[in-house]
Amino acid sequence: MDAIDIGAPTPTPLPDAPVKDFMTDAQWETLYALLDGVLPCITSTTSSDVKDKNSGILLSDTEFEALIDDCTAALSNPPPRHKIKEYLEFRPSQDENFRDDCLRSLAIVPQRNQLIKILNLLGGHAGSILLTGYWTP
C-alpha cells in the first residue's frame, strides 16, 4: 500500500481568468502603460535582456552595477547578482500572470465603470496632454 504524504499542503490552482470584454484593448493598454509608470523596470544601457529601453528607467552601467551592489548590501542573505538583475529588469505589465491577476481583480470590483471612464479620458487627447504634454495619444 502506498503511503499518502499529508505533510505538505497541495496548492489549489487558480480558475481560468474571466473574460476581459468589459474593457476594450485600448483601455487595457492604457492601464498597462500606467502600471509601467508605477512599476517600471530598471535596466542598464548595455543590457540585452530588455527589448524596449524606453519603457523603464535606463541607468548607465556604472549606476546599474552600483544599484545591484546596494541591493546586495541591504540583504542579509542576498540572492546571486544575476537574480537581482532579473528582478530589476522584470516588466510586470508584459507578464501573462500579472495581466491575469489584473483581470481577476478588476472583474469583481464594482467601481470598474469609474475606472473605465478614467481610462477613456486618459486614452484620448485630453489625457494625452495631461500625461505627456502632447496632443496625440
The verdict on pTM exceeding 0.85 is no
Q: What is the pLDDT of residue 3?
A: 63
Q: pLDDT tens digits for 84-109? A: 999 999 999 999 999 999 999 999 99
- Determine the straight-line distance between the first and last CA of the chain, rounded to whole angstroms: 66
Q: pLDDT tens digits for 57-75? A: 889 999 999 999 999 999 9
- State how far the Cα of 33 lies from the Cα of 39, in Å rounded to an integer: 10
Residue 4: pLDDT band (50, 70, 90) is: low
- State how far the Cα of 61 lies from the Cα of 26, in Å rounded to an integer: 35
Cα R_g (the chain), whole angstroms: 20
